[in-house]
Structure 1
Amino acid sequence: MSSLPIEQALPSLKEALERHNGAVLVAAPGAGKTTRVPLALMDELWLGGRKMIMLEPRRLAARSAANYMARQLGEPVGRTVGYRVRMDSKVGPETRIEVVTEGVLTRMLQEDQALEGVGLVIFDEYHERSLQADLGLALSLQTQALLRDDLRLLIMSATLEAEPVARLLGDAPVVVSEGRSFPVDTFYRPVPKKWQDRAEGIARVIREAMARHDGDALVFVPGMSEIRAVERIVRGGSFGLPSGTEVHLLHGSLPPEAQDRAIAPPLTGIRKIVLSTSVAETSLTVEGVTIVVDSGLARVSRFSPRTGMSRLETVPVSSASADQRRGRAGRVKPGVCYRMWSEEEQGHLPSRSAPEITEADLAPLLLELAVWGVNDPAELEWLDAPPKPAVQQARELLVRLGALASDGTVTGHGRRMAEASVHPRLAHMILAAEPLGLGGLACELAALLGERDLFAGGGGRQASSDMRLRVEALRGIPSSGTVVDDATRKRISQEIGRLRRELGIGGDGKVRVSPYAADTDACGLLLAFAYPDRIARRRESGAYLFSGGRGAELREGQALAREEWLVAADVDDVGADSRIRLAAPVQWAELAEHCGEQIAEEKIVFWDRESQSVRARSRRMFGALLLEETPLQNPPPELVRDKLLEAIRQEGLDMLPWSKAARQLQERIVFMARHDTSWPDASDETLAESLEHWLAPYVDKMKSRGDLQRLHLKDILEAMLSWNKKRELDEEAPTHWNVPSGSRIPIDYSDPEAPALAVRLQELFGLPESPRIGGGRVALTLHLLSPAQRPVQVTRDLASFWRNTYFEVRKDLKGRYPKHYWPDNPLEAQATRRAKPPGH
C-alpha cells in the first residue's frame, strides 16, 4: 500500500480505541481514512476477531470503498471485506469488514439490539448528518450503554466540529489527521439564476476550463434533471466537444456499472467530463480529476410540520460543502475550481448545512424508535434532538395509519410496516392492499414513488400527473407523448421484488382476486390508504381541497382536472395552495367503503357574521371536506350562549345596547375602582374577559344581535354591586352636581383620573372652591363655558381661577357678551342661568 497521511494518525487512533469505547477522527480530504482505517484496526486485540461495520451515506461510496479495500488485500469483494446496500450485497462467512449504507445498520440493530459479533461501528462522513446516521448513532449509544459496554464507536469526518460529538460519546478522545492535497486555484464565474441560462453558463465554463487546463473535469449540479440539461448542451453540435473526450453521469439512481465507469481512471489519451450531484462530494475519489466546476447548488428534502408534506428544494451549498467540492480537484496534483457565483456571495454562504433531522419527515424515525422500544425520542442521546412539532406530526400520522397505539407503543401492524425499507405510508398501503387482492399493484406504486419519475426527465412540463399511466408504462404499455427511462424501470422492478419478499406479498399461497376489471383503476384507493390527508375534492373554482385542510391545484391541461375526487401522491408544497404533481382518481363509493372511519358526524354551533346571529348545523365531514350540511334543530342552549358571548368578545362590547345611563354607571364604577381596590373592575377589557360571570345569566334564549337589544345594561351592571356599594356610589360618585345657579349638571366620568363638570361660568358665581367627589379625595375638573356654551377655561382649582385668571377672562367675555352680567367680585355675586341675575 502507498503511504497516506492517515498512517501518521493510526497509532493515536489505535491507542484511543484501546482505552475508550469511542473516538472521533477528524481527517482532512485525501487523508485516506475511509479505506485505511478499517484495515488498520482489523487485528486489534480489543476487537477479538469480531467484525466491523462501517457506515457510508451513499450506496456508491459504500460499494467503492469495499471494492478498494478488497483490492488492497488482493481478494475479491465479499470475502474479508464486503458491502451491504439496498438491493445489493456481497458478504460471506469470512467477512470482517462490512461497508453498509445507514438504513442497513438500523435493520441490523432492530434484528439484534446487542450487535453480537460486532466489535466496532464506524460512522464515516458523519458531518453530512443524515437522518439515518443520527438514528443509527443514537441506537448504537443505547446498545453500548445498556447491553454492550465493549462495543466501540468511531466517528470519522473531514469537516466535523469534533467537540460536541466527543461529548456525546462520553468525552471520547479526538484524533486529528492532516490530509494530502495539492494547491487548487479558485475562479469565480457568476452565472444567471434561471436554470436553463445557468446550465448554458456552466457549459461555457466547462469548455473554457477544458481548453485552459489539463486533466478531467468534475461538474457539480443539484439533480438528475440538471445533469441531463448540461449533458444535452455539452453533447450538442454547437459545443464543440473535443475528440477523445467522454461525458459520464454520476448519480445515485444510475446503474452500478454506469457509476463505476464514471469514477474509473480514464484510458490513455482520453479526457473525461463527469456530471455529478453531491454524491461525489465526499468519500469518492474520481480518478484523473484536476478541474472542478461547481454550480453551488444542492437538492435537499425539507418537511413542513405545518402542512405535513415534504418538498425538494434546490438551495445554495454551505461553505463547508463548497470547500469539499473544491478539494476534489487537488487529490492527485494541483488543480483548479470554477465557482458559479461571486466572491461576495461566497462570504454569505451558510457555514454548514442543517442536519437532516431538523428538517425531515420524522415518521420513519418514530416508527423505528417504537419498534426499538422507545416512545419518546428524548429517551435517547442526540447531537441535535428531533424538533417537537415534527415529532408530534409524525406520531399523529403513525397513529392514523395504525402503526402506533394512542400511547405511542408499536402495534403488530406497525412492526410489519417497519420490516419494509419504505416510508410508513407506503408500507401501510401495501399491507392494506393485500387482503383486497391488490398487493402487487401496491408494491408497484410504492416502488414508483420511491424512485425518480419513470417518465424520462419527468415527462416534460406538460407530462400527465396521472399515476395510472406510470403503472401502465412500468408494465410495458406505451403512453403517447412520454419516454420511459429504462434504467429507472429496471431499478423499480428490482424494488418491487424486494418489497414482495420483505412483506410477504403473495407468498402465502393464497389466491386473492381483485374486484377491479383493470387493477390500475384501484390506484386512487390504494393511494388513499397511504395518503389519507391528501384525499382531495374538486371545488367550484376547479382547484382541490385536501381532506387535511390544504388547498391544491393541478397543472393546466391535466385530464385529471375533470375528476371530482383525487388522491395526491406527490405534492409541491409552495405558497398558499400546493401543486399536485402525481395523483390518481378515486370514487366516493370506494372511499365510503374502505375509508369510512374518516367520515365524521359533527354538530357545530357558530357565529354567523353575515346574519349577526348564532347558527347551528349538522355536518357530515370527511376530514376537512364537507359532504353534507343541514340545519340543526334545538342546539344545546349552553353552546348557543357561549357562541353569543364569544361573538361579543370578538366584535366588541359595542354590540350591546349602551344607554347614556348605563355607560355613565360603568364609568362611575371604574372611577371608584381606580381609587379603592374593593370595587369591581368594570373596564371594557375586564368586562369582555368576564362575560360568563356578569352577562351570561341574562342572555339565555338569545341568539342574535337583535336579541341583545332587549338587555337593560344599567340594571345588569348595578347587579354587580351590593346594596352598600350602591349607596356608596351615589354618595362618592354622584351622577350630577348642583351648582350655585340651581342647575343640576351631569358629571362626565369618561376619564376616571379626571371626572369633569362642564358648566357656564356665570352659574358658579359665589362658589369659592372646586367641588370634590370620592369622599373629598378628587376635585372635579371644571370646563368653564361662555354663555354660548363654548369653553373658556379648564381648571381643577376654582379658588386660584377666581384670584388669578378670572379678570382676564372677564375682560374678553365682557367684550363678546356685553349684555351679560360680569361682576367685579365673582365670589360675592349671585349665580345665574340667564344673562343677568334677578333684580338687575
Structure 2
Amino acid sequence: MQQWAQGRLLQWAMRFPIDDLLPRIRDSLASHPRLVLEAPPGAGKTTQVPPALLDAPWLAGGRIVMLEPRRVAARAAARFMAGQRGELVGQTVGYRIRFDRQVTDATRIEVVTEGILTRMIQDDPALEGVGALVFDEFHERHLSADLGLALALDVQAALREDLRIVVMSATLDGERLARFIDAPRLSSAGRSFPVEVAHFPPRRDEAPEHHLRRAVEHALASHPGDVLAFLPGRREIDRAMRALADSSADAELLALHGDLPVEQQARVLQPADDGRRRVVLATNVAESSVTLPGVRVVVDSGLAREPRFDPNSGFGRLDVVHIAQSSADQRAGRAGRVASGWAYRLWPQSQRLEPQRRPEINQVELSGLALELAGWGDADLRFPDPPPPGALAAGRELLQRLGALDGQSITAFGRRMLALGTHPRLAAMLLAPDDDSERALACDLAALVEARDPLRAGGDAFAARWQALVAFRRGSPPHDASRGALAAIDQAARQWRRRLRVDVAPPADAPAHLIGDLLAHAWPDRIARQHPADPLRYQLANGRGARLYDDSVLFGEPWLLVAELRDDSRQPGRDARILRAAPVDPGRLERDWPARFTTRDRVFWDTDRNAIAAVRERRFDSIVLDRRPIAQPDRSRHAEALVDAVRQLGLDALPWTGALRQWRARVRSLRHWSPELGLPDLSDAALLDTLPQWLQPALAGKTRLDALAADALAEALKSGIDWPTRQRIDALAPIRVAVPSGLQRDVRYGFDDETGEPVAPVLAVKLQELFGLADTPRIVEGRVPLTLHLLSPGGRPLQVTGDLRGFWERTYPEVRKEMKGRYPRHPWPDDPWSATATHRAKPRGT
C-alpha cells in the first residue's frame, strides 16, 4: 500500500503531452468507429487514452479492452491507471495475462496480453459488454496483435457496428494503417529533451558483458542520473549483472524482464527510495511499453530477442537479432524524458540497421494462426500484412497430423486445442492423456518444452530434464542444474495443472517410455525408428533421416521421439543431428495411432536392375517396418513405376526431339515475356514435381520407357495448354520468321536456368537476305528484338548484333570491303538500304 501511495503522489503531479489531444480523440470516436493514434513514447497514450473514454456516451457503460504486447507493461499500465483513480488493481482497472488475472465484475478497463484478446473474441464473437478495443504498441507488429485486429475488424463489420477500434503506436506508418482500416489519424507530441548519441564499439575479442560494463562505468562517471541498458534477454542480463557487481558498487543494480516476480517489476518502475543512482538492465520491454523514472543515460546493445521459426524444434524460438533503426531511436529517446540525456550505442557507427522491424507474421511458424482461422471459420480475414501462403499451408499440414483439422475444417479435438491458447503441438500433448497421472506428467513436459534448458551440461536425453525437475521437488536438484530455471518450470507446471483441472500431484517416477509416448503427441512427425544397418541412424515419420551423436545415452533405443534436431542446410543430403529425444514404446504407437500403420503394394523403378520392381510394405507414416518382394506386380501400376524411373534418371531419359525442346523454350520464354498468358511452369524442377499429372497418363499400358514415342511425349507436355493458347504461342514466338529474301528462317530460343530469364532469341541468316531491311526484326508483338547472327554466303558468322540499323551504318562498309574479294559472285552493294535481298549468287556474266 505504501508503494501504491508513493506512486500516486508522483502520478498526481504529472501532466502528459497527450492530454491536449484527448478531446479530439473522444470527438473522433463519437463520429467514426475506428481511429489510428500516433504518439511517441512518453506521450501518455497507454495510461491516459482508455480512462479518457470511460464516460463517452457511445461506450454506454461498457468495457474497454486494451491489448498490451508484454506482461510487464500490462501489469504496469493497469497499476498506473488504477493509482490515478485512487483504486487498487482489479476495481475499475484490471488486467488478464497468462496464468494471472486481476479483474472483477466492476472492472471496466481490462489490459490483456498475448492471445487473451483472441480467446475473448473466439469465445464470444459479439463481445457482449465490450465497447472499445485498444491495440497499444502496434508498431511492434506481434502476430497476436495482427490477428486480434483482423478478428476485431471482422466482428465490427459483421456483428458490432457500434464497436470502437483504436490502434495506437509510437513509431508506425500511420498513413498506411489508416488507409488499411479506413480510419482517421491523429498524432500527439511527445515529451523529450535533446539526447546526444555516441557510438561505443567493442574492443577486439571483448566479451559482450565486459563491453557493456565499460560503457556503463563510463556513463556513471561522466553523466548524472540513472542508466538504462538494453540487452536481448534474461541470460544476457544475468551475465551483465555479474560483470557489474563489483564495478558499480555505488549504484543499485536492477533487472527488468518478463520473468521477474511482480514485486520486483514494480520496484524497478518506481523511483529509488534512498536516492541512490540506479543501473537498470532491461529487455526491449523498456523500449516503449513502460517508463522508468530518473533515466538520463541509455546504453544500447543494439540487440533484441525476436520470434523466428525454428525448424530444429518445430516451434517458434526467440533469436538474438539486430534491432531496427526505429527501435534504436526509441531506445535513445528514453534518455531524454526528464532532461537532456546521452545514448551510447554498442555497435560501430558504420553498421546500418533496417529502417523498421519486420512483422512477426512473416517470420514465425503459423500453425497457431491456422488453427485460429479454422476456429473462426473464415480464412479470408484482412491482415495489415497477409500471412505467407507457404508457411500457412505448412501450418495446416501440421494441424491435420495433430488431428486438429479434417481437410480445412476444425475438428472437435481442434476446438479443445484452440481453447487452451498455447502452441498446437503442446495443446495436442496436454489433451492426449486419459488419466490424471499422465495429464500431470504432460503438464511437466509442457513446462519443460516452453522453458530454457535447466541443465548446464546439456545432453540429448529429454528424460534427464524431467528427472532434474523431480529431484528439485525433493529438495536435491542435480549439481549441473539451474535452481532458478527449475523453480520457474515447477511454477509453470503447477499453473498448467490448475488450468487443466488436474488435482493429482505430479508424478515422482515414470516408466521408461512414457515421456516419449506423451511427447509423441506434440511431435507426431518426429517419431523415429532405428535403421536396421546403422544403430546411430534413425528414419523419422516425416521421411527425413536423423543421427545420434556417438556418445549418446540413447544409443540402442529402437524407437525415439525427437523433440529437437539440427539440420545443417549447408550440407544437403546429410542426416540431421538429434539434439534431444526420448524413447518410445511401439506398442503404444499402435494403440494411439492405428490408422498411421498401413500395408500397401509399391511399384517402383529399380535402378540397379534397370527394370520395374514391386514390394509389399508395412509402414508407420514414412517409416518402412517390413518390405517383401512381389513376383508379379499389378500391370496397371507400371506407369507409376516408369514415372519413378524418370524421377531418378532425369528428364533427359525421355525421347526429346529438337523441335520439342524448342517449343518448351518458347513457352518458358513467353511465361517471362507475357505473364498475362498464364502459361504453365515448364522448368526442370516443375516438370519433375508434376510428373504424375502430365507424364503418367502417357505411360499407361507401357512397361518400358523406350516404348514412349516422341509425339506422345510432345502431346503429354502440351496437355495443360488449350488449343487457342497454343496458337497464341505460335503467333507471339514463331518457329521461323520471313526475311526480305522471301524465305522463312528458323528462330532459336533458349532459357538460362541460373538467372531464371530467357536467352535472347536468335535469327541466323545470310547477310544478303536482309538487304533493304532497316531495323532489327522483333517478336512478341514487337516487344522482343531478335539477336541477328549475320552469316557469310558460305554460312560462316560475320557479325552478331541486336542493332541492324547500326550495323548497316557503321560495320557493313568494313564487312563489304573484306568479303567482296572473298565472295565476288555475291552482291555487295554500296547502299544495302535499297538493294534487293537475295539468297542466291549473281548470275554468271554479271
Once the two structures are superposed, residues 28-58 of structure 1 have per-residue CA deviations (whole angstroms, 9 ceiling, x without a partner) of 1111111111122211122112121111001
Distance 1:20-1:531 versus aligned 2 partners, 3 A rule: same
Distance 1:549-1:337 versus aligned 2 partners, 3 A rule: farther
Q: Report the aligned-residue RMSD.
A: 4.0
Show the 5 A alignment for 1:368-447: 368-374=372-378, 376=379, 378=380, 380-406=381-407, 408-435=408-435, 437-447=437-447
1:597 is displaced (CA, Å) by 2.5
Say which of 129, 135, 151 aligns to 1:139: 151
1:546 is displaced (CA, Å) by 2.6
For 1:418, what is the secondary structure of its paired residue?
A: helix
Distance 1:193-1:312 versus aligned 2 partners, 3 A rule: farther
Does residue 101 in structure 1 map to residue 113 in structure 2?
yes
Match of 1:250 in 2: 256
Does residue 530 in structure 1 map to residue 522 in structure 2?
yes
Does residue 341 in structure 1 map to residue 351 in structure 2?
no
Match of 1:227 in 2: 237
Does residue 241 in structure 1 map to residue 247 in structure 2?
yes
Which has the higher mean CA deviation after the structures are superposed, 563-572 or 20-29? Answer: 563-572
1:385 is displaced (CA, Å) by 1.3
For 1:542, what is the secondary structure of its paired residue?
A: strand
Residues 513 and 585, structure 2, Cα contact 8 Å, conserved in 1: no
Say which of 168, 171, 181 aligns to 2:192: 181
Does residue 287 in structure 1 map to residue 316 in structure 2?
no
Once the two structures are superposed, residues 112-139 of structure 1 have per-residue CA deviations (whole angstroms, 9 ceiling, x without a partner) of 2111111111100011111111111111
Distance 1:646-1:60 versus aligned 2 partners, 3 A rule: closer
Say which of 84, 99, 103 aligns to 1:91: 103
Which has the higher mean CA deviation after the structures are superposed, 516-525 or 351-360? Answer: 516-525
1:713 is displaced (CA, Å) by 9.8
Distance 1:434-1:632 versus aligned 2 partners, 3 A rule: same
1:438 is displaced (CA, Å) by 1.0
CA distance, structure 2, for counterparts of residue 670 and residue 556 of structure 1: 50
Distance 1:555-1:28 versus aligned 2 partners, 3 A rule: farther
Match of 2:66 in 1: 54
Counterpart amino acid of residue 480 in structure 2: T
CA distance, structure 1, for counterparts of residue 114 and residue 696 of structure 2: 60
Residues 465 and 581, structure 1, Cα contact 8 Å, conserved in 2: no
Gaps of at least 5 residues in structure 2 are 1-11, 663-683, 714-747, 749-762, 765-792, 796-820, 827-843
Match of 2:628 in 1: 630
Say which of 182, 196, 214 aligns to 2:224: 214
CA distance, structure 2, for counterparts of residue 160 and residue 394 of structure 1: 29
Show the 5 A alignment for 1:491-502: 491-502=488-499
Once the two structures are superposed, residues 568-619 of structure 1 have per-residue CA deviations (whole angstroms, 9 ceiling, x without a partner) of 2344565355554432221333323323322232333333333333332322
Show the 5 A alignment for 1:601-750: 601-641=599-639, 643-644=641-642, 647=645, 651=649, 700=702
Counterpart amino acid of residue 97 in structure 1: I
Match of 2:798 in 1: none
Give aligned-pair identity as a percent: 42
CA distance, structure 2, for counterparts of residue 258 and residue 558 of structure 1: 41
CA distance, structure 2, for counterparts of residue 459 and residue 669 of structure 1: 63
Say which of 348, 365, 370 aligns to 1:366: 370
For 2:21, what is the secondary structure of its paired residue?
A: helix
Distance 1:50-1:782 versus aligned 2 partners, 3 A rule: closer
Does residue 318 in structure 1 map to residue 330 in structure 2?
no
Match of 1:769 in 2: none
Show the 5 A alignment for 1:149-164: 149-164=161-176
Residues 639 and 696, structure 2, Cα contact 8 Å, conserved in 1: no
1:307 is displaced (CA, Å) by 9.5
For 2:22, what is the secondary structure of its paired residue?
A: helix
1:271 is displaced (CA, Å) by 2.1
Match of 1:472 in 2: 470
Match of 1:503 in 2: 500
Residues 293 and 338, structure 1, Cα contact 8 Å, conserved in 2: yes
Distance 1:803-1:25 versus aligned 2 partners, 3 A rule: closer
Counterpart amino acid of residue 121 in structure 2: L
Distance 1:48-1:299 versus aligned 2 partners, 3 A rule: same
1:192 is displaced (CA, Å) by 6.8
Distance 1:191-1:631 versus aligned 2 partners, 3 A rule: farther
Distance 1:635-1:331 versus aligned 2 partners, 3 A rule: same
Match of 1:81 in 2: 93
CA distance, structure 1, for counterparts of residue 450 and residue 278 of structure 2: 31
Residues 199 and 345, structure 2, Cα contact 8 Å, conserved in 1: yes
Say which of 26, 45, 58 aligns to 2:57: 45
For 2:149, what is the secondary structure of its paired residue?
A: helix
CA distance, structure 2, for counterparts of residue 402 and residue 274 of structure 1: 46
CA distance, structure 2, for counterparts of residue 668 and residue 108 of structure 1: 63
Distance 1:538-1:264 versus aligned 2 partners, 3 A rule: farther
Residues 319 and 351, structure 1, Cα contact 8 Å, conserved in 2: yes
Distance 1:537-1:475 versus aligned 2 partners, 3 A rule: farther
CA distance, structure 2, for counterparts of residue 81 and residue 670 of structure 1: 72
TM-score, structure 1 normalization: 0.73
Does residue 593 in structure 1 map to residue 591 in structure 2?
yes
CA distance, structure 2, for counterparts of residue 82 and residue 632 of structure 1: 70
Residues 80 and 95, structure 1, Cα contact 8 Å, conserved in 2: yes
CA distance, structure 2, for counterparts of residue 243 and residue 86 of structure 1: 36
Once the two structures are superposed, residues 170-193 of structure 1 have per-residue CA deviations (whole angstroms, 9 ceiling, x without a partner) of x21101001011111111122379
1:228 is displaced (CA, Å) by 2.0
Distance 1:561-1:313 versus aligned 2 partners, 3 A rule: farther
CA distance, structure 1, for counterparts of residue 78 and residue 825 of structure 2: 104
Distance 1:423-1:651 versus aligned 2 partners, 3 A rule: closer
Counterpart amino acid of residue 492 in structure 2: E
Residues 305 and 390, structure 1, Cα contact 8 Å, conserved in 2: no
Does residue 129 in structure 1 map to residue 141 in structure 2?
yes
Once the two structures are superposed, residues 299-341 of structure 1 have per-residue CA deviations (whole angstroms, 9 ceiling, x without a partner) of 1222278995544422111111111111111122222111111
For 1:74, what is the secondary structure of its paired residue?
A: coil
Say which of 523, 542, 564 aligns to 2:558: 564
Residues 420 and 499, structure 1, Cα contact 8 Å, conserved in 2: no
Residues 560 and 581, structure 2, Cα contact 8 Å, conserved in 1: yes
Gaps of at least 5 residues in structure 1 are 672-684, 718-750, 755-780, 784-799, 806-826, 828-840
Does residue 36 in structure 1 map to residue 48 in structure 2?
yes
Once the two structures are superposed, residues 461-488 of structure 1 have per-residue CA deviations (whole angstroms, 9 ceiling, x without a partner) of 56865443354345437454422333x4
CA distance, structure 1, for counterparts of residue 460 and residue 697 of structure 2: 64
CA distance, structure 2, for counterparts of residue 712 and residue 449 of structure 1: 54
Say which of 158, 161, 165 aligns to 2:177: 165
